[in-house]
A = this chain, B = another copy of it.
Amino acid sequence: MSSRKAPLDRDRVLDAAITLADRVGLEGLSMRRLAETVGVTPMALYKHVSSREDLIDTMVERIVSAFRVADGDTDWKREVRARILAARAVTTRHTWWRTAVETRTMAGPAVLSHMNALMEAMFRGGFSPDLVHHAMHALSTRMWGFTRDVMPTPTLPADPEARDAALSAYAEAYPAIVRMAATASHAGAACDEDAEFLFALDILLDGFERLHERGWRSAPMA
Interface: A221 (CB within 8 A): yes
**Which of the segments A5-13, A15-23, A195-203 contacts the partner chain?**
A195-203
A109 / chain B contacts, CB cutoff of 8 Å = 173
Q: Is the interface of A mostly helix, strand, loop or mixed?
A: helix
**Pair B173/A112 contact, Cβ less than 8 Å:** yes
Chain B residues with CB under 8 A of A107: 151, 153-154
Q: By the criterion of a CB under 8 Å from any partner CB, how many residues of chain A are at the interface?
A: 66
**A62 to chain B: closest CB distance in Å?**
15
Residues 56-100 of A, flagged 1 when their CB comes within 8 A of B and 0 if not, give 000000000000000000000000000000000000000000000
- Is there an interface contact between A174 and B219, defined as CB atoms closer than 8 Å? no
Q: Give chain B residues whose Cβ lies under 8 Å from the Cβ of A162.
A: none
Sample (20) of A-B pairs whose CB atoms are under 8 Å apart? A101-B150, A102-B150, A107-B151, A107-B154, A112-B153, A116-B177, A119-B177, A123-B179, A129-B180, A133-B185, A137-B147, A137-B191, A137-B196, A138-B200, A140-B147, A140-B148, A195-B218, A200-B204, A203-B207, A206-B207
